[in-house]
Amino acid sequence: MPVSHTRLLKQKHGFGSLPVFFLSLCTLQGALMILWLGYAVGNLGMLAAIGMVTVAHAITIPTAMAFSEIATNQKVEGGGEYFIISRSFGITIGVPIGVTLYMAQTILTALYLIAFSRAFQPFFDYLLASPLSIYVYDYRVASIPAFLLLTLLLLRFGSEILIKLLYLAVPLMVFGYGLFLGSPPTHREELLLSDLTQHIEQPLSFFGVLALSFPMFGGMTAGLSFSKKLREPRHSLPRGIIGAVVAGFFAYIIFIFKLHMIASPDELVQNPLVMADNTPFGVEIIIVLGVASLLSAAGSFLMASRTLQALAADRVLPNLVWDRWLSRMNRDDVNNPLPIHAIQATAVLVLIALIYDNMPYMLEAVSVLLCLTFGSICLISFLEHFAADPAYRPVFRTRWYISLTGAMSCIIVMININLRFSLLVLVLMIFTYLLVSRYQHRKQGLSAIFQGVIFQLSRTLQIFLQKVRKEPEAEHWRPSIICISTHSFDRVSGFQFLRWISYKYGFGTYIHLIEGYLSKETHRQSKECYNQLIQISDATHSNVYIDTLVSPSATSAISQVIQLPGISGKENNVIMFEFSKANPEGLENIAANFQLVRATDFDAIVLGSSDRNFGYHSEIDIWITSNDYENATLMILLGYIILGHPEWSNASIKIFAIYPEDELVEQKQNLMELINSGRLPISPSNIELIPQKENVDTKTIINQKSKRADLTIIGVRSEAVKHSGGAVFMGYDGIGDVLFVNTKTMKSLR
User: Which residue segments constitute the domains of the chain, with CATH numbers given?
Assistant: 5-447 (1.20.1740.10), 480-742 (3.40.50.12370)
What residues contact 544, with CB distance under 8 A and at least 6 apart? 495, 498, 499, 502, 508, 509, 510, 537
- Given a cut of 70, whether residue 379 has pLDDT beyond it is yes
Q: Are residues 217 and 406 in contact, defined by beta-carbon separation less than 8 angstroms? A: no
The DSSP result for 605-633, as a single string, is EEEEE-TTTTTTS-EEEEEEEGGGGGGHH
| Of 740, 344, 702, 346, residue with least CA distance to 581 | 740
pLDDT score at 739: 95
Over residues 704-731, mean pLDDT = 90
Whether residue 159 is predicted with pLDDT greater than 70 in this model: the reply is no
Residue 740 has pLDDT above 90, yes or no: yes
Phi, psi of 550 (to 5 degrees): -100, 120
In tens, the pLDDT along 231-259 reads 777 777 788 888 889 988 998 999 898 88
pLDDT at 6: 41
How many whole angstroms separate alpha carbon 668 and alpha carbon 684? 9
432 pLDDT band, cuts 50/70/90, is confident
The number of residues making up the chain comes to 750
pLDDT band at 206 (very low <50, low <70, confident <90, very high): very high
Report the distance separating Cα 286 and Cα 155, nearest Å. Answer: 27
Sheet with 652-659: list strands edge to edge.
545-551, 507-515, 480-485, 574-580, 603-609, 737-742, 711-715, 619-625, 652-659, 687-691
Question: Residue 1: its pLDDT value, please?
Answer: 39
Question: What mean pLDDT, rounded, does the chain reach?
Answer: 81
Each residue's pLDDT tens digit, 579-633: 999 888 888 888 888 888 888 878 999 999 998 889 999 999 999 887 777 888 8
Residue 693 identity: K
Q: Mean pLDDT check: name the lowest of 38-52, 182-196, 553-567, 591-605.
A: 182-196
Helix, strand, coil percentages in the chain from 3-state DSSP, rounded to 5: 60, 10, 30
Distance in angstroms (rounded) separating the CA atoms of residues 516 and 525:
11
Each residue's pLDDT tens digit, 85-137: 777 677 888 888 889 989 998 998 999 888 888 877 777 777 666 665 555 56
pTM summary value: 0.67
**pLDDT band of 531, cuts 50, 70, 90:** very high
DSSP state of 604: E
Question: Tell me: the pLDDT tens digits for 662-687?
Answer: 777 777 777 777 777 665 667 777 88
β-pair type (545-551, 574-580): unpaired
pLDDT at 376: 84
276 touches 286 (CB < 8 A)? yes
Distances 9 to 5, 15, 252, 275 between C-alpha atoms, Å: 6, 10, 37, 42
Distance between CA atoms of residues 294 and 115, nearest Å: 9
Relative orientation angle of helices 46-71 and 80-89, to the nearest 10 degrees: 60
Give the least confident one: 149-163, 205-219, 551-565. Answer: 149-163
What pLDDT is recorded for position 10? Answer: 44
- Residue 507: which H helix or E strand, with range? strand 507-515
- How many other CB atoms sit within 10 Å of the CB of residue 37? 24
User: DSSP class of residue 728?
Assistant: G
Per-residue pLDDT band for 512 (boundaries 50, 70, 90) equals very high
Q: What is the DSSP string of 61-126?
A: HHHHHHHHHHHTTS---TTHHHHHHHHHH-HHHHHHHHHHHHHHHHHHHHHHHHHHHHTTHHHHHH
pLDDT mean over 201-213: 90
Q: Which residues, other chains included, contact 649 with Cβ-Cβ below 8 Å and sequence gap of 6+?
A: 643
Residue 220 scores a pLDDT above 50 = yes
Question: What phi-psi label fits residue 680: left (phi over 0), alpha (psi between -120 and 50 degrees) or beta?
Answer: beta
pLDDT of residue 11: 45
Predicted confidence at residue 223, as pLDDT, reads 65
Tens digits of per-residue pLDDT, 539-584? 888 889 999 999 998 889 888 888 877 766 677 889 999 999 988 8
Residue 663 neighbours by CB distance under 10 Å: 15
For the stretch 443-470, pLDDT in tens is: 555 556 666 666 666 666 666 665 665 5
Least confident window among 458-467, 505-514, 709-718: 458-467
Q: What integer is the mean pLDDT of 516-530?
A: 91
Q: Is the pLDDT of residue 83 over 80?
A: no
**pLDDT tier at 331 (50, 70, 90 boundaries)?**
low
pLDDT given for residue 7 in this prediction:
43
**Residue 5: band (very low, low, confident or very high) from pLDDT cuts 50, 70, 90:** very low
Q: Is residue 104 exposed (0-12), middle (13-18) or buried (19+ Cβ within 10 Å)?
A: buried
Range 267-301 burial, b when 16+ CB lie within 10 A, else e: bbbebbbbbbbbbebbebbbbbbbbbbbbbbbbbb
CB within 8 Å of 21: residues ≥ 6 apart: 223, 239, 240, 241, 243, 244, 247
Alpha-carbon span 698 to 637, nearest angstrom: 23
Angle at 294 between CA 292 and CA 295, to 5 degrees: 65
Give percent of the chain with pLDDT exceeding 90.
22
